[in-house]
Amino acid sequence: MLFLGTTAVLKAQNIVGVAAGNDNFTTLVTAVKAAELVDTLSGDGPFTVFAPVNDAFAALPEGTVATLLKPESKDALTGILTYHVVAGEYKAAAVVEAINGNNGSFPVTTVQGGIIELSLQDGKVMLKDEKGNSATVVMADVSASNGVIHAIDTVVMPK
């Protein structure tokens, strides 16, 4: 916190700091550290992160997370994590506008290089990965100094 005279000014945290301060993202933060992506996601950005909550990781087949956290799985883990990141800051209203302006489906290119299709279902933003799996945005517009986080209920996977 910075103090200017008698007025306190809070310095906004970056994406990693915001995620680390939220109990819903402990598995994600552990994975980001294992993949050595802390510096990247702490950079200037801006980034939009579709961040899987802990329950999303827990729903993966047994042993998947433990295997991905091993040093020899770093490349695979990095690919999965960067598949959840889009360059630029896209708040929920802009995402909905893009979906509606593109006949109900809006493809975005991830930092990993793959595509995620965004759409709306029952008023909620949905993601469809390259394997056909779907995720729902369960919390939108968590602001950070270098972008925005949208919490999702499923880990999406690249090809």
The proportion of the chain whose per-residue pLDDT surpasses 70, expressed as a percent, equals 93
Distance CA 86, CA 54 (A): 20
Over residues 65-108, the pLDDT tens digits come to 999 999 999 999 999 999 999 999 999 999 999 999 999 999 99
Instruction: Give domain limits for the chain.
Output: 2-152
Q: Which residues pair with 120 in a beta bridge?
A: 125
Whether domain 2-152 has CATH 2.30.180.10? yes
Under 8 Å CB-to-CB from 134, ≥6 apart: which residues?
Answer: 126, 127, 128, 154
Indicate whether this model's pTM tops 0.75. Answer: yes
